[in-house]
C-alpha cells in the first residue's frame, strides 16, 4: 500500500490556530532543551525513560534533523501538514472525519533559507532522519470535555533508537 500523501492544513481549518499554538509551544520547549518543559508536551508521566533518553540524544545531536532548527537565530519556516482523504471516500465518510472531536497534524520546521525548501510528502518522510532538511512532530489535539488539550509525538529515527 502506498503512503498516504500529505497536504497543507487548510487555512480555514478550525484546527489550524490550535495546532499553530501547540507547535509554537513545543518548539520553544524543545529549544530550551529542558526536559521539564518538553516532557509534559510529549506524554509526561507516560513518556518512557528510554524514549525520554532518545529524545534527549536527538536534541543534543549536532547532526540530527532538529539541530539546525534548534540552533537557528531566526524563526524557522514552518509547514503544518495533514493527511489527504483518499478519493474513494464518500461524502458521508468525509463528513464523519470532519466532525470528529479532535485532529492531528504533522508540524515540520526548516532552518533552510530560500525557496528550495523540500517538505515531507508522506508521514514516512517525517522520520527526523539525519540529512533531512526539516524536523517534524505529530501533534494530536482533542476537544473532548474529559481530555481537552494536545500531545506531541516525535518520530525517532533508527540511529536515535527509534523504530
| 137, part of any domain | yes
| 27, part of any domain | yes
Measured CA to CA, the distance from residue 130 to residue 113 in angstroms comes to: 18
Exposure string over 7-20, b if 16+ CB within 10 A, otherwise e: eebeeebebbebbb
Given the C-alpha cell 500500500, which residue does it identify? Answer: 1
- Mean residue pLDDT across the chain: 85
Average pLDDT over residues 6-22: 90
Measured CA to CA, the distance from residue 28 to residue 75 in angstroms comes to: 10
Measured CA to CA, the distance from residue 163 to residue 152 in angstroms comes to: 17
- Total residues belonging to the chain: 163
| 17, part of any domain | yes
Helix, coil or strand: residue 104:
strand
| 1, part of any domain | no
pLDDT of residue 102: 72
| 55, part of any domain | yes
CA 59 to chain centre: 15
Measured CA to CA, the distance from residue 120 to residue 134 in angstroms comes to: 8
Confidence of residue 163 (pLDDT cuts 50, 70, 90): very low
pTM: 0.85
Average pLDDT over residues 141-153: 76
Average pLDDT over residues 137-155: 81
pLDDT of residue 149: 85
Model confidence pLDDT, tens digit, residues 27-49 = 999 999 999 999 999 988 889 99
pLDDT of residue 31: 95
Measured CA to CA, the distance from residue 80 to residue 106 in angstroms comes to: 6
Given the C-alpha cell 461524502, which residue does it identify? Answer: 91
Cell of 39: 516532557
Using the Cα atoms of residue 44, residue 47, residue 48 and residue 50 in order, give the sign of their dihedral.
Answer: negative
* Residue 142: φ, ψ to 5°: -130, 140
| 128, part of any domain | yes
Q: Where in the sequence is the domain holding 119, given as residue range(s)?
A: 6-160
Domains in the chain, number = 1
Model confidence pLDDT, tens digit, residues 55-111 = 999 999 999 999 999 998 889 999 999 887 666 667 676 666 566 667 889 999 999
| 133, part of any domain | yes
pLDDT over 80 at 23, yes or no: yes
pLDDT over 70 at 130, yes or no: yes
- Per DSSP, helices labelled H in 10-128 are 16-32, 35-38, 49-60, 67-71, 91-98
Average pLDDT over residues 113-131: 82
pLDDT of residue 85: 65
Amino acid at each position: 500500500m502506498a503512503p498516504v500523501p500529505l497536504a497543507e492544513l487548510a487555512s480555514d481549518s478550525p484546527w489550524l490556530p490550535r495546532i499553530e499554538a501547540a507547535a509554537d509551544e513545543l518548539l520553544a520547549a524543545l529549544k530550551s532543551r529542558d526536559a521539564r518543559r518538553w516532557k509534559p508536551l510529549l506524554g509526561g508521566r507516560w513518556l518512557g525513560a528510554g524514549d525520554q533518553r532518545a529524545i534527549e540524544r536527538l536534541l543534543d545531536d549536532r547532526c540530527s534533523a532538529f539541530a539546525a532548527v534548534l540552533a537557528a537565530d531566526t524563526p524557522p519556516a514552518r509547514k503544518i501538514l495533514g493527511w489527504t482523504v483518499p478519493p474513494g471516500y464518500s461524502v458521508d465518510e468525509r463528513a464523519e472525519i470532519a466532525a470528529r472531536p479532535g485532529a492531528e497534524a504533522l508540524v515540520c520546521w526548516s532552518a533552510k533559507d530560500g525557496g528550495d525548501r523540500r517538505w515531507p510528502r508522506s508521514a514516512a518522510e517525517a522520520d527526523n532522519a539525519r540529512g533531512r532538511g526539516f524536523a517534524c512532530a505529530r501533534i494530536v489535539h482533542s476537544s473532548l470535555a474529559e481530555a481537552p488539550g494536545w500531545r506531541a509525538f516525535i518520530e525517532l529515527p533508527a540511529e536515535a533508537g527509534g523504530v
